[in-house]
Amino acid sequence: MISIVKADELDIRRREETGSPEEERMVREVIRHVQHKGDTALAAYTRRFDKVEVTETLVSAVEMEDAYQQVEPAFINALQTAAAKIRAYHERQKRTSWMETETDGTVLGQLVLPLERVGVYVPGGRAAYPSTVLMTVIPAQVAGVEEVVITTPPQADGKIDATTLVAAREAGVERIFKVGGAQAIAALAFGTETIPRVDKICGPGNRYVTLAKRLVYGQVDIDMIAGPSEIVVIADDSADAAWVAADLLSQAEHDPMASAVLLTPSQTLAAAVTRELISQCERLPRREIAAQSLREHGAIAITVDVAEAVATANRLAPEHLQLMVEDPWSWVGQVRHAGALFLGHWSPEALGDYVAGPSHVLPTNGTARFSSPLGVDDFTKKTSLIAASRDMIQRDGQTVVTLAEAEGLSAHAASIRVRLEKEDTHG
């Protein structure tokens, strides 16, 4: 079910996640086709990949009403509770524009401006992810984005999962489009007759989605590579084996490509967690997915001590890292690379998936070395502001002239000289 390996043999990066050369060729073709044929191409790819006929891509008001009929009030309450906590967390990430007046009267500053329109991809192949709607849309709204549109794959009946629709409406999204995979990413990047072109595409997805996001980057911005889920748990004898196994399974059940790894200096814990994984997995409705994930991408490594476990986790740069050890806070300073860090026995990763507050859209496949969790910054951009005074021109003008002439750019130098030579008539 799960192999015991040496810590230095571990590698959670999955080459399949980035797609084979044939898949990349196919995704390029999908993008090119959608760019040139718009909605006609979308319908054809939905027929081919989702095996369903979708005549109206935009979710209608009637479909939204139907969705509300299908969900329990408790689900709506839970969405609202989670949304409030996610909003409160992201409010704290907000940055403001700033301006400062120098002694010579020059004003320098930076404007922080929201993106105008963002496209969120909500995965919908193997499972519906209403929580992902909240985790992407709310940070965008807090940033001040004018419009967020959603694309998500249709189910076999041609409709969108009701929980996803209700989450979108609760989050205040007006336009939801029934299209998934690479074709959805292409539509958001280039626009079609019905889907508007956006400035940035966010959200996780399978390898076709991820490949397409990479390929359209430059045409639009993208958030990051957020693919199949990953968890690394570092645990010592203070941990309860049943809790460790439950936490590993919580990510393994996402996808056969998900990765769940335990690093422990305790042989006893490793053996107990292995037993727990077997018995708990059997009881899961998604046991086949979880078992495949543990078999193909899961591992337990016995480390010399917690320090070696932390060093190994840094090398893996996992999406989620749980520290279920005696004194988790004492290790925080040693953690260099992880999308999200969960400290102590009472911080299971599932809390972060739904309600803690930070977005659960996190860098995967080792990209936590250089990428950050999705947040308000992803939905803003900055503009530098310069309002120079005459004194600044007088003081620094010659520096510009010297540097411009060194670069052979005499027109640059001239644009300063005309001001240096000017009588003070412009204040």
Ligand X SMILES: NC(=O)c1ccc[n+]([C@@H]2O[C@H](COP(=O)([O-])OP(=O)(O)OC[C@H]3O[C@@H](n4cnc5c(N)ncnc54)[C@H](O)[C@@H]3O)[C@@H](O)[C@H]2O)c1
The tokens of 83 are what? Answer: 């949304």
**Beta pairing class for 230-235 and 259-264:** parallel
Question: Is 190 near ligand X (CB under 6 A)?
Answer: no
Pick 164 or 251: Cβ nearer ligand HSO = 251
How many chain residues touch ligand HSO (CB under 6 A)?
A: 8
Determine whether the annotation assigns residue 396 to a binding site: no
Residues in the chain, how many? 427
Question: Is 353 near Zn ion (CB under 5 A)?
Answer: yes
Residue with tokens 């659960």: 360
Near ligand X by CB under 6 A, which window of 5-13, 79-87, 108-116, 253-261? Answer: 253-261
Which one, of 168, 210, 223, 212, lies nearest residue 187 by Cα? 212
Cβ proximity of 191 and 197 under 8 Å: yes
Distance of closest approach, residue 364 Cβ to ligand X, in angstroms: 6
Question: Is 229 near ligand HSO (CB under 6 A)?
Answer: yes
Q: Please name the helix (run of DSSP H) or strand (run of DSSP E) that holds residue 254, with its range, or none.
A: none
Distance of closest approach, residue 39 Cβ to ligand X, in angstroms: 15
Question: Is 365 near ligand HSO (CB under 6 A)?
Answer: no
Cα(54)–Cα(243) distance, rounded to whole angstroms?
Answer: 43
Q: Does residue 331 come out as left (phi exceeding 0), alpha (psi in the -120 to 50 range) or beta?
A: alpha
Burial 287-300 (b: 16+ CB within 10 A, else e): eebbbbbbeebbbb
Binding mask 363-392 for ligand X (x = CB under 6 A): -x----------------------------
Instruction: Tell me which of ligand HSO, ligand X, Zn ion, none is bound by residue 14, counting a contact when its beta carbon lies within the kind-specific cut-off of 5 to 8 angstroms.
Output: none
Question: Is 206 near ligand X (CB under 6 A)?
Answer: yes
Binding mask 218-237 for ligand X (x = CB under 6 A): --------xxxx--------
Determine whether the annotation assigns residue 426 to a binding site: no
From candidates 319, 367, 390, 401, binder to ligand HSO by CB under 6 A: 319
Active site residue 17: no
Distance of closest approach, residue 353 Cβ to Zn ion, in angstroms: 4
DSSP per-residue letters across 296-345: HH-EEEE-SSHHHHHHHHHHH--SEEEEESSSGGGGGGG----SEEEEST
Question: Is 141 near ligand HSO (CB under 6 A)?
Answer: no
Active site residue 297: no
Amino acid making up residue 422? K
Determine whether the annotation assigns residue 412 to a binding site: yes
**Residues 6 or more apart in contact with residue 114 via CB below 8 angstroms:** 143, 144, 145, 146, 379, 380
Q: Please name the helix (run of DSSP H) or strand (run of DSSP E) that holds residue 117, with its range, or none.
A: strand 117-121
Instruction: Tell me which of Zn ion, ligand HSO, ligand X, none is bound by residue 126, counting a contact when its beta carbon lies within the kind-specific cut-off of 5 to 8 angstroms.
Output: ligand X
Given 253, 319, 337, 360, the catalytic residue: 319
Cβ proximity of 239 and 325 under 8 Å: yes
Distances (CA, A) of 72 to 75, 79, 85, 127, 134: 5, 11, 21, 18, 18
Question: Is 353 near ligand HSO (CB under 6 A)?
Answer: yes
Task: Return the DSSP state at 35.
Answer: H
Pick 49 or 354: Cβ nearer ligand X = 49
Cα(402)–Cα(137) distance, rounded to whole angstroms?
Answer: 49
Distance of closest approach, residue 122 Cβ to ligand X, in angstroms: 7
Question: Is 360 near ligand HSO (CB under 6 A)?
Answer: yes
Pick 41 or 134: Cβ nearer Zn ion = 134
Distance of closest approach, residue 156 Cβ to Zn ion, in angstroms: 24
Given 320, 337, 345, 360, the catalytic residue: 320
From candidates 132, 163, 264, 274, binder to ligand HSO by CB under 6 A: 132
Determine whether the annotation assigns residue 407 to a binding site: yes
**Residues 6 or more apart in contact with residue 420 via CB below 8 angstroms:** 393, 394, 397, 398, 401
In the complex, the residues that contact ligand X under the rule CB under 6 A are: 49-50, 123-126, 129, 132, 153, 180-182, 204-206, 208-209, 226-229, 254-255, 257-258, 360-362, 364
For the annotated binding site, the residues are 121, 183, 206, 229, 251, 254, 320, 353, 407, 412
For the annotated binding site for NAD(+), the residues are 121, 183, 206
Residues annotated as catalytic are 319-320
In the complex, the residues that contact ligand HSO under the rule CB under 6 A are: 129, 131-132, 229, 251, 319, 353, 360
For the annotated binding site for Zn(2+), the residues are 251, 254, 353, 412
